[in-house]
Structure 1
Amino acid sequence: MSEKQQRLVYSIIEFLNQSIEDGAVKADDQESLEVAIQCIGEAFNVDPSNQEQADRLSVKPATLQNIFDVFMKTRAKVAPSASTSTGASSSKPKDASEDEKAQAEKHKATGNSQMSAKKFDDAIQSYNQAVTLDPSNPVYYSNRAAAHSSKGDHLAAVGDAEKAISVDPKFVKAYHRLGHAQYSLGDFEAAASAFERGLKLDSTNAGLKSGLQNAQARIDHVGGASSPPETTTPAQRAVPGAAGSGLGGMADMFRGMGGGAGGMPDLASMMNNPQMMAMAQQLAANGGLANLMQNPAVANMMSRVQSGDMPSMAELMSDPTLREMASQFGATGAP
C-alpha cells in the first residue's frame, strides 16, 4: 500500500467523521457509516486514532472538501476553452500563412518533378514538407497517395487519399486515388464504393467511370472476393483493367484513358484500328504482350494513368522501354 493511497484514504475517513460530527448524516445512518469507516480503515491499514499515522498522513490545513472545491472551480474555468480549442483543432487543420502556402507549393512542384523522374521516395518527402507547411490543402495528400501507389505501397495511399477527402470532401481526384489504391489491394468492393462517391460529385468524370466499371467487373467475376486472381501478375494487379494477357485485357487497359492531353494519342481509337489490332494480335501470339504487361515501366505508366496523372508523349518517349513499345505499335516522331 503506497503512502499516497493511504493519505487519500485518511482524508476520506477524516471527511466522513467530520460529516458525522457536523450532523450532515442523519442520526439513523451514523452507526452504519461508522461501521463503513472502520471497514475502510482496516482494508487500507489506516487508523485515525494512531497519532503517528495522523502526523504522517494528514494533509492539514487542507481538507478533502476544500481540495475538491478548488478542483471544481478550476475545471469550470478551464473546460470551456479547452473544449472549444479541441473542437476547432479536430475539425479544421491550422491555417497556413501566405508565405507557408508559397513554400508548400514549391515543395509540391519539386515532388511532381521527382514523380516524373520516378524518384518516389524523394517525392514523398517533398509532399511531406508541403503537408507540414499547409495541412489544409488536399492536393498534397492526394499527390502523396499517388507517390505511395507508384512504389506499390497502396495501404499508405489509402490513408493519404482518405485524409485528402477528410480535408476537402469535394476534392474529386482523391476518390480516384482511393479507388485505385483499394483496387490494387484487391478490395474491389471498397474500390467501387470510392469511385461511386466520386461520381456523385462529378458524374461525367471518365476516370471514375472507367474505374467503377473495372471494379464492378472484378466483383462480378470473383463474386466479391477480396484478392486478385492467381492468373494475374503483380504488374497487372497494379493496373485496373489490365488483367489477362489477351487483347480484351489490353483494350480494357486503354479504354477510358481518353486522348489528346499532353500530346497523348487517342489510345481508345487506336485499339479500334484494324491495322493496330492486327499488330496487337501478332504481339499476343508470340508472347510479347504478356511480357509487356510484366514490364515495371509499363505498369508504372498505367498506374499513373489510372490515378489521373496522364504522362506527356515527350515523357513517355524519354523511357527506352516505352519508346520501344511505341515503335512496335507503329508510333513515330519520338523526340
Structure 2
Amino acid sequence: MSELKRLAYSIIDFLREQTKSQAWTSDERESLEVAMQCLENVFKISSQDIDLAVSPSLTEIFSAAITKELIWNTPSDFTPSAQDVIRAEQLKNEGNNYIKEENYRAAIDSYTQAIELDPNNAVYFCNRAAAQSKLNNYTAAIEDCKRAIAIDPDYSKAYGRMGLALTSLNKHSEAITYYKKAVELDPENGTFKSNLKLAEQKIGEASSPTGAGLGFDLASLLNNPSFVSMAASLMQNPQLQQLISGMMSNAISGPAAGVGGLTDMGSLIQAGQQFAQQMQEENPELIEQLRNQIRSRSFSGSNEDHS
C-alpha cells in the first residue's frame, strides 16, 4: 500500500504542476483539481506528506523523456571513432547485400547497428527506410527519411524514398512535394521524374470523375493464381455467360445485323461491371490486395541502387 501511496503522491504532484500552466482552460483546470482530490481521498494523503515524494519526480522524468526525444530527432554532436566508422560501413554493406537477397529484416538489423555506431550518417537511415518500405513499414520508412533529411538536407535520395513511402500510403500530394525536391536536387535522375509524373497523374485521376478504377494492370492480374481461379469460378455464373454469349453473337453477326457487333459498348460495359461486382463480392480481400500490389508497382524504385 505504501508504494501505491507514493505513486499516487507523485501523480498528484505532477498534476499540481500542470495546473500552473496557462495553457489549460478553467474547465480543464477544474478537472485536474477534481482528479487530485479523488486521489487524496482514496489514498488518504495530502500535499503535506512530503515523505512520500520520490526522486526524480514525474515532471522531471517527462521533461527528460522529451529532451531525449528532441535529441534523437536532430543530428547529434557525437563523433564516432575511426574504428566505429569502419565497422559501420561494413554493416551498411552487409545491409545492402541483404537487400539484394531480399532479406529485408536482416538488412534493417544491419543498418540499425550501423546507425548505433555512427548516428549522423544520413545514408544509413535512408537505406533502412528502403528496407522498411519493402516490408510495408511505411511509417517507419518516413521517420527514417526524416532523420536522413535532418542530417543532410541536400540528400536527394532521402526525398525520393520519402515520396515512395508517402505514395504507398496514398498521400500523393505530400509525395509530390518530396519528389519535386528530389528532382530539384538531382535533375538528371529519371526515377525521380517518373515517380513525380505518376504521383501527379494519381492526383489527376482522383479529381477526375472517369479516373477511378482505371489503374489495373491486366498482366499483373493474369499472373495472380488466386485471381485466375476466382475468375474461372465466376465464369460459371449463368447471367454472365448469357451476357458474353450475346456479345459473341453480336460480334459474329457484325454491324450489318443492326446490333453493332463489337461496337455495342453498352453490353461490354454491362458485362464488365457485373463481372467486377461479382469479383468484389466473391473475394473483397483479394481485390484490395490486387489494388495495393498494382498501386505499388506503378511507382519506380524496385531496382534502385543503395549507397
Q: Please report the TM-score for the alignment, with normalisation by the length of structure 2.
A: 0.48
Q: Please report the TM-score for the alignment, with normalisation by the length of structure 1.
A: 0.44
Larger radius of gyration: 1
